[in-house]
Amino acid sequence: MPITPFHYPVAWGLSKLDKRLNLPGLIVGSFIPDIEVPFLIIFFHGVLPDHFILHSLIGAVTIGVFISTFVTVLLYPILVSMFFGVDRVKLNEVCRLTPVLVLSCMLGNLFHLLLDLLMHPFNPTLWPFIDPYNIVGLASFSLSVSLERTCINSGVPTLFLGVPNL
C-alpha cells in the first residue's frame, strides 16, 4: 500500500531548490501516481500488481501529467481553500495553466517514481520496455536491501517497510 505522505517533502524541497517551480503542481504531481493503487487493488486484485501504468516513466509523463494538471487547475484551489482557508482567488492565480505548472506536475510525477524506486521492491518504471518482474523489481529490491543494511549498520531508523532486516 502506498505511503503517499512521504512524497510531499520531496515536492516542498524541489520548490525550495527552484523558486520558479509551482508548489501546487509539485504537490499534486507527487501523489497522482498513487491514485491507481486503490483502483488496481479493488478491480484487479491478484491479476495486476498494485503499481502499474502511472508508476512507469511513460505513464507518468503522459497520463500522470495530464491528470496532475487537471487536478491542480480545477480541484486544488477548491479543496485547499475549503479545508485550509486559503484565499481562493490567490490559489486560482497560482494554479492557472502555464508551462511552469505542467513542468512542475511532471517533476512531481517523476520524483514520485524515483522515491518509489527506492522504497518498493516492485517497480514498473521502465515498462513496457523492460519486464518489471525480471529486471526493475529485482534491481530495486537489491537497492532497497543495501540501503536497509546501510541504515541498520549506521543505527538510522529505516522506512523500508516490507524489506526484512538482513
pLDDT digits 0-9 by tens, 80-135 = 999 999 999 999 999 999 999 999 999 999 999 888 887 777 777 777 777 776 65
Closest listed residue to residue 125, CA positions, set 107, 140, 141: 140
Instruction: Give how far Cα 72 sits from Cα of 24, 61, 136, 150, Å.
Output: 7, 15, 30, 38
Does the structure show a pLDDT above 50 at 163?
A: no
Where does the pLDDT of residue 4 fall: very low under 50, low under 70, confident under 90, or very high at 90 and above? Answer: low
Domain ranges of the chain: 4-131
Q: Which pTM does this prediction carry?
A: 0.75
| Arithmetic mean of pLDDT over the chain | 79
Does the structure show a pLDDT above 90 at 18?
A: yes
Residue predicted with more confidence, 138 or 83: 83
